[in-house]
């Protein structure tokens, strides 16, 4: 009996939550999304991280063994992506090499652009 009541209470709360979110206007949701995005940016900058807004993958992922001149490559990084991006909301879009430790980290960004045209934000 207890499980039945808890289950039905959960269903009721779920339906109430869905109804409440549908009643909120899109303009307010957009406002909150921008507010949250700004807060995330500020916290990341406070941690000393750099914001990369990636618009396009120029090349990669490329393993460090396939790069003839490996001077200046971080020792723990193995995979390179050449990207077109904006750094820290600077208005200029530049080509930047981004290094990753694991192939899956680099490929996740490439995969994002296979399925979406939205820019990808990355903090490093």
In this predicted model, what pLDDT tens digit does every residue of 63-116 receive, in sequence order? 888 777 766 677 788 888 899 989 887 888 899 888 888 899 989 989 998 898
What is the predicted pLDDT for the residue at 70?
65
pLDDT in the model for residue 3: 87
Tell me: the pLDDT tens digits for 4-39?
888 988 999 998 988 888 888 888 888 999 999 899
- The pLDDT of 52-73, averaged and rounded, is 81
C-alpha to C-alpha distance for 90 and 18, rounded to whole angstroms: 39
Predicted confidence at residue 36, as pLDDT, reads: 92
Q: Which long-range contacts (CB under 8 A, 24 or more apart) does 46-49 make?
A: 49/123, 49/124
Torsion sign across C-alpha atoms 21, 17, 33, 122: negative
pLDDT at 35: 94
| Residue 65: predicted pLDDT | 80
Sign of CA dihedral 38, 43, 48, 49: negative
pLDDT confidence of residue 71: 65
Q: What is the pLDDT of residue 89?
A: 78
């Amino acid at each position: 009996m207890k499980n039945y009541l808890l289950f039905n209470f959960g269903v009721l709360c779920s339906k109430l939550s869905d109804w409440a979110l549908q009643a909120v206007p899109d303009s307010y949701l957009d406002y909150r999304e921008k507010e949250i995005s700004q807060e995330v940016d500020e916290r990341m900058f406070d941690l000393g991280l750099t914001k990369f807004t990636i618009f396009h993958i120029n090349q990669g992922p490329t393993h460090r063994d396939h790069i003839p001149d490996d001077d200046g490559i971080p020792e723990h990084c193995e995979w390179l992506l050449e990207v077109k991006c904006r750094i820290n909301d600077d208005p200029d879009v530049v080509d930047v090499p981004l290094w990753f430790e694991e192939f899956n980290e680099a490929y996740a960004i490439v995969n994002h652009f296979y399925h979406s045209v939205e820019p990808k934000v990355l903090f490093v």
